[in-house]
Amino acid sequence: MADPSPPPLPVLPPRLALSPARFAVGLPLLALLVLAVERAWTCGGELAKGAPDMARILDEMWPPSFVRAGTVARLMFETASMAVAGAAVGCAASFLLAFLAAKNLSPHPLAYYLSRAAISFFRTVPDLVWAIFFVVAVGLGPVAGTLAIVVDTMGFCGRFYADAMEETDPGPREALVASGAGRFGVVLAAVVPAALPAMVNASMFALEKAVRASVVLGLVGAGGIGIELKASMDMFQFSEATTIILAIFVLVLGVEQLSALVRRRIL
């Protein structure tokens, strides 16, 4: 005869069990979510009121105008140059910084904590703020934008490079140290080959990020196509703005495809 007792109720794993501390943290988060949703509904009403103007602007944006195609092409080349140069220099600087920020490679605890603090600071400050800082420091133009991308890339790649170096297998490194290899030789022979896939992946994402950032940095005078896009929108030249947006789309799409190709070949 089968047992008529009901099956036991499933028990939540410990990590999902409700505790007073989790309740105290979750309740304010839930209240914040409710307020955010309520605010979003309010913004939704404003969006509905602006829908006719959005439709009018979209109608005026097509077809695109190629009257200033030469200027757009020149500024797109400047935008791409800023992104590539800034990402390349930033990745190279990130490698040196990551060497100090990796706990298993840093020559001194003070160097480790200072380099980690620098990476966190570079990553915390938005790239647009860095662009404003460098525009004030070196003047308007692509130099300020390139420097902003360098610093932003150091904050982005520095952490990933350091984490990748820390996660490498200590066996080959310890074998080289036992054979008398120096610190720099150990890094090149044991650490870099093991961390290379993760570093390449982070570098490709940094390049994609730099391309998108280089478009926005022009809004504050840091070079690139951004200032031209802003001028077209401010002067209600929406068809010219469409040309710029399409050019940005082609550039970003091309960089993403190149990044994916590199990752497939190396990773």
Each residue of 53-85: pLDDT tens digit? 677 777 777 887 777 778 888 888 888 888 889
pLDDT for position 47: 67
Q: If pLDDT is split at 50, 70 and 90, which confidence band does 5 have?
A: low
Domain ranges in the chain?
A: 19-57, 69-266
Closest by CA to 99, choosing from 184, 176, 196, 179, is: 184
Span between the terminal Cα atoms of the chain, in Å: 59
- Report in angstroms the alpha-carbon separations of 40 from 78, 108, 125: 38, 49, 27
Q: What average pLDDT is seen over the chain?
A: 79
Cβ atoms of 214 and 86 closer than 8 Å:
yes
Average pLDDT of the residues in 104-120: 84
Of 245 and 44, the one with more pLDDT: 245
- Report the alpha-carbon distance of residue 202 to residue 85 in Å, rounded: 16
Rg (Cα) of the chain, in Å, rounded? 25
Provide the 3-class DSSP secondary structure of residue 148: helix
pLDDT at 3 over 60: no
Q: If pLDDT is split at 50, 70 and 90, which confidence band does 15 have?
A: low
pLDDT for position 13: 62
pLDDT tens profile 131-164: 888 888 888 888 888 999 999 999 888 888 888 8
Q: If pLDDT is split at 50, 70 and 90, which confidence band does 12 have?
A: low
Residue 230 amino acid letter: K
Closest by CA to 81, choosing from 145, 38, 132, 136, is: 145
Average pLDDT of the residues in 165-192: 74
Does the structural domain 69-266 have CATH classification 1.10.3720.10?
yes
Average pLDDT of the residues in 204-218: 85
Full-model pTM:
0.76
Average pLDDT of the residues in 196-205: 84
